[in-house]
A and B are shown apart, each in its own frame.
Chain A
Amino acid sequence: MLFNSLSFVLFLIIVLALYYTKLFNWTGKKRMLLLSSYIFYGMWNPPLVILLWISTIVDWTAGKKLAVEENQKKRKMWLLLSMIVNLGFLAFFKYGDFFLENFVILMNAFGIDFQAQPMDIILPMGISFYTFQTMSYTIDMYKRKIEPARTFLDFALYVTFFPQLVAGPIVRAKELISQFYEEKRATTNQFIWGLFLLTIGLFQKIVLADTLLADTSDTVFGSDKLLHGVDAWIGTIAFSGQIFFDFAGYSTCAIGIALMLGIILPDNFKYPYASLGFSDLWKRWHISLSSWLKDYLYIPLGGNRHGITRMYVALMLTMLLGGLWHGAEWTFIVWGGLHGTYLILERLQRRYLPFEITKWNGMFLAFTTFSCVNITWVFFRARSFETAWNMIKSMFYMQTGGEKILDTFTILKVSVIIAIMFLCHWFMRNTSMKEVSLKTSPYVLGIIWAIMTFLIIIAQGSGEQFIYFQF
C-alpha cells in the first residue's frame, strides 16, 4: 500500500480509529497494529508476507537463544543462521538475476558457451529495509548490546511496523521495541504535528517529486540522443531533487504517521544538500542506512583502528556494498565507488590541506559538495553505462552539438525549484522544522499547511510508487 493513495487514507483512518477506541487494551492494540501491518504489506502481494514471517520467526528464535546461550560457538551458529536467512532472501530475490547474468558473462569470457534464462524473480517490496532492520537485532543480541524483546508480539511488531516497513527509516531494536512495552498514546500536539509531517511528506512526494521534477529527469535519462550540456545538467539536478523529495517525503510521512500513534521514529534526513563535505553528507542523507553501514560493516571491517590504508579499504568496501544495497546493477556499485572515492579524498584533504570552514566559504563548499553529489546521481539514475557516460560527457562539454530536448520553461522551472531547495537546506542545516515552526505564527503555519494540502489534492497524484521501494 502506498502512502500517496486513497486506499491508504482509508486504511489509516480505520487504524487510528481502532487505536484510539477503548475496545482494546495495549496488547490488543499491538495485535491490531501487527495485523494492520500485515494487511498493509499484503495488499501489495499477499504471498510475500510469508517472507516477513520467516524473517520474524528466525530472528526471534535466534535472538532468544543468543540471550541465554553461553557457548561462543553456538552463539555464532545462531547469528549465522539469522545472516544466512536474511542475506539469503536478499541474494535470491534481489540479486539472483544479477549474479546469474554476471556468471554467464564470466563463463563466456573464459570461452565457455553458457547461457541461462533470467529467473525474473519478483522483488519483494522493502526487502532491503526489513532484512537490515531485523539483522541489526540479532547482531546487537550477539554483541550483547541489547536486551531481548520481551514478547514475540513486540518483536514481530518491530519487524513489521507499517509506517517504516517498506522504505525505512531502518530503526534499531533499542529505539523501537522498548516503545512497545508501555501503552503509547499521542498527545494532541504530537498527533497534529504528525499530521503536519504527513502532509509535508506527501507534498514532497506528490507535488515536488512526481509533478514538478520527475518528467524532466525521465525525459533526459530516457533520451537516446547525445544531449546539450544544459539539458544534461538540468536532467541531473531534476533527478537530484526528485530522489530527495521522494525518499525524504516517504521518511517524513513514516515519522508523522508513527507520531500520530504516539511512536517516535528517528530522523532520516537532515537537509543533506547543504552538507559541508561527504562525511557530513552521510550524517544527513539516509541517516539510518549510513549509521547501519557504519556500525555493522565499516567498524567490523576495521574502521579507523588499523591504520590509514586499512581505513580507506574499509571505507571503499562499505560504500561499494552500500551502492549494491541500492540495486543489482553495476551502475549502483559505481555510484557507491564514487562516494567512497569522495570520502577518501576528503580525508586526504583534511590531512594534507586542512582549512577552516567559515560562513563565507561554507556556502561555496556546500555548493561544491552538492555538485559532486549530482555527478554520482548520473550513475544512480542511468540504466546503462553508455547513458551515464554520454550524460557525463555532455555535462562537461566533452562533446559538441548535443541536442536540446528541454524547453526554456522546463529549464527555468527545474532551476528555480532546485535553487530554492538548496537555499532551504542551507538555511535549515543547523536547525529543524520543529524549531522553525515554534518561531512561526500559527496562522502562517496554517496558511502554509493549507497551500500544501490544496496542491496535493489538485496534483491528483496517480499513486506513483516511491523510488526507494525498489531497493
Chain B
Amino acid sequence: MNLKTSLITALALSIIALTLWEFYWRSKPEYYIAYLEDDRNLWAEQRLKVETATSKDIILLGASRTGYNFNTHIWEETQGIKPINLSANGKPPGPFFEDIVNNTTFNGTIVFGVTPVAVFLFNGGDRWQTAKNWIEHYYHRTNAQKLGFLLSKPLQQYLVMLTASEAKSYNDLDLKSLINTIYIDDGRSKHNRFNLVNIGYNDEDRNLIMIPRLTNNPMYQKEITDEWDKVIPFVLTEYSSDVEKEVSKAIDNLSVLIKNFKARGGKIIFIRHKAEEGWNKYTKRMLPRDKVWDKFIKTVNCPSYHFEDYEFMSKHTLPEWSHMNAEDAKTYTKDLVIKLIADGHLNKHN
C-alpha cells in the first residue's frame, strides 16, 4: 500500500478543486462577496457588550428591517454613540427584549424596530425558538466554540466559498444549501416551497448591507418580490378573533416587560419601518394599524415613530419591498437619529 502517493494525490487534488471552487464563486461578484456570517457567535459578541453598557448606551432590537435600515456607523457619527446591534434577521425581537429586561440591569435606551408579523404573531413558534437558541448559545457557549469562532473569522472574511447562513438560503454556498436548490416539482408535498434568498451581507458590527445589484436591477428585484408574492399571502391572512387574541397576548407580554424596564430607568422607542405596498397590503389585511400598532402604542405609552406619519421615514423606495439599500439606510439612520435628538429622546454626545 503506497499511502504516501495517495496522500500527495489527495492533497494536490483537494487544493486544485478548492482553488477552482473559490475562483468560480469569486467570478460572480454581483452575487457573492466574502463576509463574516451573521450567526449566533457574532450576535453573542454584541450581546456581551450589554453586560458593561451604561445608561447612555443604546441597544437596537428588531428583525431584518432594523438590520438593513439602520447603520450603526452613521448613528455613531450623528449621535456620538455606537448602538449595540442585537437585531436579528428572521427572528422575532421578543425573546431578546425579554432577555435584556429579565437577565441584565441595562437601563439605557432601546430602539425597538417593529415588523408587525414578527412582534405580534411569532410568539412561541419555531422562529421564537431560533431566537431563544441564540440567547441560550450566549449563556452556554463553550471555550471551544469561542476559539472556533475566532479561528473562523479570517477564513469567512476572505473566502467567498464560505458564504453561508443559518437559514440555509437559496443562494448560500454550503453543500446543504446547494443540494436544497434541487427540487422536483411534482406537487407531492402540499407545503409551499419558499426559496429564501439571501439579499445582503453584513459587517463585523452586524449592520446588514443589501447586495448592490438589488438596488438598481429590476430583474434581481423581481426575483425577490416574486418569492414574497408566493409566501406572504399565506402567512399574512385575514384579521380574525384568533389573530386578535394572539395580538392581545403579545401586547400583554410586552407591556409587563416594558413596565419593568421603565421602572429601572430604561427608555424605549418603537419604530415602525417602511414596507412597500406589495408587502404592506398584507400586513394591513391581517394586522390593521388601528387594531394593532395604535392599540399597542396606546397601551405601552412609549415614544413611537410610524413610517406613514413621517416623510423622512417613507421617502425611500425599497428595492424588494421590505428593506432599504445601503445608501438609503445611511440617510434614514441619520434623519431618524436627528429627529430622536430633536424630540429629546436621545442626547448628543459628540
What CA separation (Å) do A437 and B10 show in the bound complex? Answer: 14
Q: Is B8 part of the contact surface with A, judged by Cβ < 8 Å?
A: yes
Q: Is A92 part of the contact surface with B, judged by Cβ < 8 Å?
A: no
Query: Is A6 in contact with B151, judged by CB distance below 8 angstroms?
Result: yes
Size band of the B side of the interface? 35 or more
What CA separation (Å) do A446 and B142 show in the bound complex? Answer: 36
* Minimal Cβ-Cβ distance residue in B for A192: B3
What CA separation (Å) do A460 and B2 show in the bound complex? Answer: 30
Contacts of A408 in B (CB 8 A): 184, 186, 188
Q: Is A364 part of the contact surface with B, judged by Cβ < 8 Å?
A: no
Contacts of B184 in A (CB 8 A): 407-409, 412
Query: Is B189 in contact with A405, judged by CB distance below 8 angstroms?
Result: yes
Q: How far is the CB of A273 from chain B (nearest CB, A)?
A: 23
Contacts of B348 in A (CB 8 A): none
Query: Is B176 in contact with A211, judged by CB distance below 8 angstroms?
Result: yes
Near A by CB (< 8 A), chain B positions 135-185 give 142-145, 147-148, 151-152, 155, 161-162, 164, 166, 173-176, 178-179, 182-184
Query: Is A447 in contact with B13, judged by CB distance below 8 angstroms?
Result: yes
Chain A interface, DSSP helix/strand/loop, else mixed: helix
Query: Is B9 in contact with A1, judged by CB distance below 8 angstroms?
Result: no
Contacts of B173 in A (CB 8 A): 458
Size band of the A side of the interface? 35 or more
Query: Is B7 in contact with A457, judged by CB distance below 8 angstroms?
Result: no
User: Which of A188, A409, A443 is close to B6, meaning CB atoms less than 8 Å apart?
Assistant: A443
Query: Is B179 in contact with A189, judged by CB distance below 8 angstroms?
Result: no
0/1 string, A1-41, CB within 8 A of B gives 1: 11001111110000000000000000000000000000000
Q: Is B197 part of the contact surface with A, judged by Cβ < 8 Å?
A: no
Q: How far is the CB of B343 from chain A (nearest CB, A)?
A: 43
Contacts of A151 in B (CB 8 A): none
Given contacts A7-B144, A443-B6, A450-B17, contact A405 B179 (CB under 8 A): no
Among B3, B5, B189: residue with most chain A CB under 10 A: B3
Q: How far is the CB of B172 from chain A (nearest CB, A)?
A: 9
Q: Is A212 part of the contact surface with B, judged by Cβ < 8 Å?
A: yes
User: Which of A45, A405, A459, A463 is close to B175, meaning CB atoms less than 8 Å apart?
Assistant: A459
Contacts of A210 in B (CB 8 A): 176
Query: Is B7 in contact with A43, judged by CB distance below 8 angstroms?
Result: no
Near B by CB (< 8 A), chain A positions 150-209 give 188-189, 192-193, 195-196, 207
Query: Is A196 in contact with B174, judged by CB distance below 8 angstroms?
Result: no
Among B144, B166, B189: residue with most chain A CB under 10 A: B144
What CA separation (Å) do A463 and B189 show in the bound complex? Answer: 30
Q: Is B222 part of the contact surface with A, judged by Cβ < 8 Å?
A: no
What CA separation (Å) do A211 and B179 show in the bound complex? Answer: 9
Contacts of A9 in B (CB 8 A): 151
Contacts of B307 in A (CB 8 A): none
Query: Is A7 in contact with B9, judged by CB distance below 8 angstroms?
Result: no
What CA separation (Å) do A411 and B174 show in the bound complex? Answer: 21
Given contacts A409-B183, A442-B9, A450-B14, contact A7 B147 (CB under 8 A): yes
**B residues in contact (CB < 8 Å) with A:** 1-14, 17-18, 21, 142-145, 147-148, 151-152, 155, 161-162, 164, 166, 173-176, 178-179, 182-184, 186, 188-191, 193
What 5 A-B pairs come out closest when comparing CB atoms? Answer: A446-B9, A450-B13, A449-B10, A43-B144, A442-B5
17 A-B pairs with C-beta separation under 8 A: A6-B155, A7-B144, A7-B147, A8-B144, A192-B6, A196-B3, A406-B189, A409-B183, A443-B6, A445-B9, A449-B7, A449-B9, A450-B13, A450-B14, A458-B173, A459-B174, A459-B175
